[in-house]
A and B are shown apart, each in its own frame.
Chain A
Amino acid sequence: MRQPTCFQDVIMALQDYWAGAGCAVLQPYDMEVGAGTFHPATTLRALGPNHWSAAYVQPSRRPTDGRYGDSPNRLQHYYQYQVIIKPSPPDLQALYLGSLEAIGIDAGLHDIRFVEDDWESPTLGAWGLGWEVWCDGMEVSQFTYFQQVGGHDCAPVSGELTYGLERLAMYVLGVDHVMDMPFNRPDAPRPLTYGDVFREAEAQFARYNFDHAETGVLLRHFEEAEAECAALLGQPEIDPKTGRRIVMALPAYDQCIKASHVFNLLDARGVISVTERQAYIGRVRALAKSCADAFLLTEAGGHAAPARS
């Protein structure tokens, strides 16, 4: 175990560790999402009978958490590290503890505990049971056994691990303000802090999220994404052009992701009332549910491949 010295050391140690544990190390999904769970590699792959194992960094956006770069630990754009293994292996807890060791947390000196915390995503129609993992009183990860996604029972059950990378790295590196955290090695020819990379972005996006995101446009985007998702799923399974069976679950799910993010932006702009809020969440959930239904009709979702002639 090599003690990490900067943010990217932590990320690379996790990548190495989970690659070693047999996960496919994926790259971030190229859309704005609120959490790593939204990546189709988690949401959709948790569905159906096929085995799966992946790990990836996912940039995540939570517009309401923006603090113009001033807060020591709140960011509107941050990174999550996500691991999903299906079926959940019997030694998942031990595997997880190994990952903490890999980033320099010595279980012999620290107090690591599994504290009840059940996970639920109302927008994804998903829930699972598990814990938040505490290290010396700090929540360092979310550990969940998925029970349902998009309203479907998960069988087999996926084990999902989510690490809040900034918080975890700050803890490992002993940094109190996220902007002071070394991003690359402090002994590099051009050492950069997290603030050097992101402070400006945090301020600009906070201003945009809170005051300038055009709500009329966003509302329209929401409607459009919703309509397009439905339209894609309404197409016949057999593509008339190629004559092949192509269910467009993934493009439809992209629209679901888009609608979800637009909703988050609208929420940050404060234009959604309490009653409307529930209605919007319900609309996103309906999209997620129909995408989940469609995914189960694809080969990745376990739909039997047509016999080759």
Chain B
Amino acid sequence: MPDLLIELFSEEIPARMQARAAADLKRLVTDGIVEAGLTYAHAGTQVTPRRLTLALEGVAEGSPDSVEERRGPKVGAPDKAVEGFLRGAGLAREDLETRADKKGEVYVARIRHAGRPAAEIVAEVLEATIRGFPWPKSMRWGEGSLRWVRPLHRILCILSGPEGHEVVPLDVDGIRAGDVTEGHRFMSPGEIRVSSFEDYQAKLKRAHVMLDAEERAGTIRSEAQNMAFAAGLELVEDEGLLAEVAGLVEWPVTLMGRIDEAFLDLPAEVLQTSMREHQKFFSVRDPETGRIVRFVTVANRETADDGATILAGNQRVLSARLADAAFFWENDLVVAKDGMTPWREALGSVTFHAKLGSEADRVARIAALARELAPAVGADADMAERAARLAKADLVSEMVYEFPELQGVMGAYYARAAGEAPDVADAVAEHYAPLGPSDAVPTAPVSVAVSLAEKIDKLAGFWAIDEKPTGSKDPFALRRAGLGVIRLVLENGLRLGLRDLFANGPIWEVVRKDINARIGELEADEAKKEVELSDPEFRGTILTRTREAISEELASTKDKLEHWRKALLDWDERQNAAPADLLSFLHERLKVHLRGEGVPHDVIDACLAMEGSDDLTLLVHRARALAAFLTSDDGENLLAGFRRANNILAQAEEADGVEYSFGADAKHARTDEEKALFAALDQQEPAIEEAMKAEDFATAMATLARLRAPIDAFFEAVQINTDNQIVRRNRLNLLSRIRTLCLGVADLTRIEG
């Protein structure tokens, strides 16, 4: 069985597109040949800046012969119809078979398709693949109309076996397939003829092309680590950058350089960001001081001077870049040390959202909310408010304008420079966190207050204007904010009633006030005009206003008033509905979050139905205890007992049209098991109640579990329905005690299965 090697050799492919392109090449070619009946044993892809490579092992020599059956017209159909059928099938009349059908005898054509050689199929599939390749962005070049990501220069396509290799005959817009590729652009220019994948890989390596992106990344990583280690330093790992850099070189050569002394005082984050974004340099840190002191750059070649010229050049470029960063830093520090007033004022002209006002408006709301939250999270209210007031100031600093990803981080530096308390500065840095499921959650109380306030304001704000995430659309990252609130609450064990926070947040006031203000203005205007018109002597004013003009204006004022009053009514409706809706959005996020922990969704539903479900900490305590309880033997049986009781009660209540909820009396108990159940309930009820009051769900459920034996025994021995109505009612009321007790812990009716 031959092996197939394909290489598409082009000008430099953007790094970010390489991995995807390699996967697409594999998918399109293998799907294509399989569909054409050609099998293969194994497929592997490689990609460098200049080549996309696919190697298939164990490709069949060709596709097998096949027979297609086609049903034709009825026997005895007009000649014309039969001839048409024969033409379509490419057969003569004597080749046709006849077969009995429901409607009678019909002609059947058996068309033999001869198998096709692998080369023919590969050529066809590869051409279609090249012409229809799903590049995110493609282009034409020269005088051609072929599209590729950058000009395509060569197609290497060979089938190789023990006897040698053959070029798959293929020509795509003048690019003829061959068995030739090229080595490294600078280190090994010129053509290379190859006969198999092993030959290709080996010759490329000699020609300074490391074909495997993983190998390139691995080489870069280990060389960079070694260099840093040898200098007593450590590499700052950056997987995203590593993948990108590995896509920019065919022959990685790692070089470590110094950062000019003048820039070592810049914040580490600034050095790191500037080096990564502009130069694609890795940062190297002094483990003792935590400062960034060197950089690692990756060149695409070895040189006679061992990279000295390259390194010197990179160092000069970096100095020019860092001079810019230092310029921003120094300008910003001047503003910061002066108290950041110009920035905070400038936030007034930065729009947060057209319907939610400016960043300054938002800061005012967050500050009020942070203050309100402070006692509940154990923070100092003044500090929380202070931190919130400074939290967004860096958005208009020069450094954040240049590097938006440094928001918050820079704010903290500037807050420290302004002489703010460390807790305040830390809160400025941390108030965006957590940014994702794996990002750390702030734990310092002031940070928690501001971070929570920031997210609650955002969520309530977008719910207030009805811009909720839908499907895959979440342009304001509200799901992330929701998960942020959940994690902040749970990981800090906070006890908060979120419903009130959503409903009473300052955002509602802001938008409501705005509507009220409009209504106020319109009402004043309406009153003034009505007074003017009510005076029959009134003839208008110096501004040439006539009675008619004023009447017209009054009508328009009344229209506007109606509009805004209606808006206010709708507003009330939305303010009533939105907090509940937002809470259920958070509950959905919480279910996803807890699923990872192994808490099933029906357990959460059972707890959501209980009071206080907007207190997420309480909710999760309950859910965890219930999940653990239900997996125990006692729990499982108690649940069965509860269900039995609940079902019997439900049927009886339906039949009798009453609710059995009160009045079970031990004096009507007839059997020992019945009496024992009364005794057990009398004994355990107070204990359960006490545990519930202490929110000790585990103890409550463990106590509940002690009822399992008496309940089981009761059902075993006692028939609920008897002719004695007093006894029957008493037994139903007894079951109702069980139901009430169980439902007080969680809504067990929601448990599935």
Contact = CB atoms under 8 A, between A and B. Distances in A.
Contacts of A112: 186, 300
A256 B151 CA distance: 32
Contacts of A171: 313, 316
Contact of A157 (B140, B310, B312): B140
Contacts of B140: 145, 147, 155, 157
B153 A90 contact: yes
A136 interface: yes
Interface string B191-214: 000000000000000000000000
Interface in B291-340: 297, 299-301, 303-305, 307, 309-310, 312-314, 316-318, 320, 323
Interface range for B:
35 or more
A115 B151 contact: no
Identify which of A114, A118, A147, A156 gathers the most chain B CB atoms within 10 Å of its CB.
A114
Contact of B313 (A138, A155, A156): A138
B242 to A, nearest CB: 16
Contacts of B139: 128-129, 145, 147, 157
B16 A137 contact: no
Interface string A111-143: 111111010000000001111000111100000
B279 interface: yes
B190 to A, nearest CB: 12
B124 interface: no
Interface stretch (A8-16, A102-110, A238-246): A102-110
Contacts of A72: 320, 323
A296 B314 CA distance: 45
Contacts of A157: 139-143
Given A109-B304, A137-B297, A147-B139, A90 B14 contact: no
A131 B301 CA distance: 19
B12 interface: yes
Identify which of B14, B145, B149, B153 gathers the most chain A CB atoms within 10 Å of its CB.
B14
Contacts of A156: 142-143
B461 to A, nearest CB: 22
B317 A137 contact: yes
Nearest to A147: B139
B468 interface: no
A136 B16 CA distance: 21
Contact of B309 (A118, A129, A136): A136
B12 A114 contact: yes
Interface string A5-28: 000000000000000000000000
Contacts of A131: 12
A242 B300 CA distance: 61
A273 to B, nearest CB: 11
B318 A137 contact: yes
B51 to A, nearest CB: 14
A110 B142 contact: no
Contacts of B313: 110-111, 135-138, 171
Nearest to A171: B313
Nearest to B295: A137
Contacts of A118: 137
Contacts of A4: none
A147 B151 CA distance: 13
A93 interface: yes
Given A109-B303, A116-B12, 9 more contacts: A110-B309, A111-B313, A112-B300, A114-B12, A116-B15, A136-B312, A137-B317, A157-B139, A157-B141
Interface of B: 11-12, 14-16, 49, 137-143, 145, 149-151, 153, 186, 248-249, 279-281, 297, 299-301, 303-305, 307, 309-310, 312-314, 316-318, 320, 323
Give me the 5 closest cross-chain CB pairs, A-B, nearest first.
A136-B313, A116-B14, A114-B12, A111-B299, A137-B314
